[in-house]
């Protein structure tokens, strides 16, 4: 037990203040003045719940398309910037996200960086991304990964604008001061493997005999929407339905069963028309992308009415509850993979109790 503390006199407080000023010049600070802000009872994210309507972001993105080329921009992306983290290019405390536009015929130059990236394809056709010599054509809802330090370039060979969502672990890489990046002489990396080769090898419940993992990321480049969507529909028919999530599938590295990349996790869930999920929270600030349906979410004190392609954020430990007006499919991603490796990830499934 600590002895009851006496209230310090004005004189004592002045003496302490003078002391803090004095040691501050030596780059020292008193923990006892800081500890409550450093070690909080529960997460206190600066990131706020936030919702972007696709129709308005899309209009701005197309406007960007008329103002500069993909070549000039290198990546023509409008950043989702969390209003609790102004000017920091972060959608949550640990993640970057934005929407990328490629106009017909445009290409995005090859480069690589230590940040890992993921993409969720939203709109357009005949677009590809190429990762370390394998090209994959992307369709709506496809989930594509670009692991750390892999060469990647993109292109739109179709007749319409192409839009996808990018998610990167840039704030994590920068927290550790480990950002490296480089461009390539070639604007496109030569294709060294047949298109969709990784799907042939890794997308079934089979693996190449004798294969050994040589990376911490999944060898599968493109997780197709169509089969995942069918799986959700069947799970929905067969049950059971999870009270907090509806039916939910996590994307995994087929070699390990773990997350697709070391820092980021992704999932796909279906919420039946007219149903409502139970209050839930977890420590991984999560970005939701609406792939199908219309609905409503409560995140902490905020309420969002969402529709197809909208994006919304549930910050760390914020209570979340979703209601689907029509059958809804939500893609989501977060830094859960990193938190689990560090042993600090938590969830609360009966979250209304507290």
Q: What's the rounded Cα separation, in Å, for the pair 141 and 122? A: 6
Least Å distance between CB 160 and ligand 1HN? 19
Q: Binding of ligand 1HN at residue 47 (CB under 6 A)?
A: no
> Interacting stretch for ligand 1HN, rule CB under 6 A, among 21-29, 111-119, 198-206, 290-298?
111-119
18 is written with which tokens?
Answer: 């003078």
Q: Binding of ligand 1HN at residue 166 (CB under 6 A)?
A: yes
Q: SS in 3 state form for 201-244?
A: HHCCCCCCCCCCCCCCCCCCCEECHHHHHHHHHHHHHHCCCECC
> Interacting stretch for ligand 1HN, rule CB under 6 A, among 56-64, 109-117, 186-194, 219-227?
109-117
* Residue with smaller CB distance to ligand 1HN, 134 or 166: 166
For the chain, the straight-line distance linking the first and the last C-alpha, in angstroms and rounded, comes to: 27
Q: Binding of ligand 1HN at residue 170 (CB under 6 A)?
A: yes
For 344, residues 6+ apart whose C-beta sits below 8 A from its C-beta are 283
3-class secondary structure, 343? coil
Q: Binding of ligand 1HN at residue 152 (CB under 6 A)?
A: yes
Q: Is the peptide bond before 189 cis (omega within 30 degrees of 0)?
A: no
> Interacting stretch for ligand 1HN, rule CB under 6 A, among 9-17, 132-140, 163-171, 203-211?
163-171
Q: Binding of ligand 1HN at residue 140 (CB under 6 A)?
A: no
Q: Which of 92, 148, 155, 101 is nearest to 311 (CA)?
A: 92
Q: Binding of ligand 1HN at residue 169 (CB under 6 A)?
A: no
Q: Which of 313, 311, 241, 252 is nearest to 276 (CA)?
A: 241
* Residue with smaller CB distance to ligand 1HN, 50 or 145: 145
Q: What's the rounded Cα separation, in Å, for the pair 295 and 307? A: 7
Interacting residue with ligand 1HN among 75, 250, 276, 349 (CB under 6 A): 75
* Residue with smaller CB distance to ligand 1HN, 46 or 78: 78
* Residue with smaller CB distance to ligand 1HN, 75 or 349: 75
Least Å distance between CB 130 and ligand 1HN? 11
Q: What's the rounded Cα separation, in Å, for the pair 326 and 328? A: 6
* Residue with smaller CB distance to ligand 1HN, 132 or 325: 132
Task: With beta carbons less than 8 A apart as the criterion, state whether 312 and 299 touch.
Answer: yes
The alpha-helical segments, DSSP class H, found in the chain are 10-24, 31-38, 54-67, 70-73, 170-175, 197-202, 225-238, 336-342
Least Å distance between CB 84 and ligand 1HN? 20
Interacting residue with ligand 1HN among 168, 260, 287, 299 (CB under 6 A): 168
Least Å distance between CB 289 and ligand 1HN? 15
Q: What is the footprint of ligand 1HN within residues 202-231 (CB under 6 A)?
A: none
Q: Binding of ligand 1HN at residue 107 (CB under 6 A)?
A: no
> Interacting stretch for ligand 1HN, rule CB under 6 A, among 21-29, 112-120, 201-209, 335-343?
112-120
3-class secondary structure, 279? coil
Q: Binding of ligand 1HN at residue 96 (CB under 6 A)?
A: yes
Q: Binding of ligand 1HN at residue 106 (CB under 6 A)?
A: no
Q: 283, exposed or middle or buried, with CB in 10 Å at 0-12, 13-18, 19+?
A: buried
Q: Which residues bind ligand 1HN (CB under 6 A)?
A: 75, 77, 96, 100, 108, 113, 115, 117, 152, 154, 166, 168, 170
């Amino acid at each position: 037990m600590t002895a009851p503390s006496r209230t310090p006199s004005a004189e004592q407080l002045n003496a302490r203040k003078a002391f803090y000023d004095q040691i501050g010049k030596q780059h020292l600070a008193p923990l006892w003045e800081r500890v409550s802000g450093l070690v909080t009872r529960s997460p206190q994210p600066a990131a706020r719940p936030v919702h972007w309507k696709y129709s308005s972001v899309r209009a701005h993105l197309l406007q960007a398309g008329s103002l500069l080329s993909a070549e000039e921009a290198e990546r023509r992306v409008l950043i989702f910037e969390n209003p609790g983290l102004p000017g920091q290019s972060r959608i949550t405390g640990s993640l970057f996200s934005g929407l990328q536009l490629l106009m017909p015929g445009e290409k995005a130059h090859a480069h690589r960086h230590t940040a890992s990236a993921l993409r969720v394809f939203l709109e357009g056709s005949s677009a590809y991304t190429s990762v370390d010599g394998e090209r994959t054509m992307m369709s709506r809802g496809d989930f594509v990964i670009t692991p750390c330090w892999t060469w990647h370039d993109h292109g739109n060979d179709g007749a319409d604008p192409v839009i996808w969502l990018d998610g990167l672990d840039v704030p994590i890489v920068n927290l550790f001061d480990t950002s490296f990046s480089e461009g390539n002489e070639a604007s496109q990396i030569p294709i060294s493997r047949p298109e969709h080769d990784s799907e042939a090898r890794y997308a079934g419940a089979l693996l190449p005999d004798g294969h050994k993992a040589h990376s911490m990321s999944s060898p599968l480049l493109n997780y197709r929407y169509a089969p995942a969507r069918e799986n959700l529909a069947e799970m929905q028919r067969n049950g059971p339905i999870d009270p907090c999530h509806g039916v939910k599938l996590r994307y995994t590295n087929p070699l390990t069963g773990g997350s697709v990349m070391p820092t980021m996790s992704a999932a796909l869930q279906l919420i039946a028309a007219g149903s409502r999920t139970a209050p839930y929270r977890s420590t991984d600030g999560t970005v939701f992308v609406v792939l199908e349906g219309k609905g409503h979410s409560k995140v902490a004190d905020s309420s969002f009415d969402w529709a197809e392609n909208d994006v919304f954020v549930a910050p760390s430990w914020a209570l979340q509850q979703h209601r689907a007006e029509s059958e809804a499919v939500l893609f989501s991603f977060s830094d859960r993979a990193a938190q689990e490796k560090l042993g600090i990830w938590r969830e609360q499934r009966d979250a209304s109790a507290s």
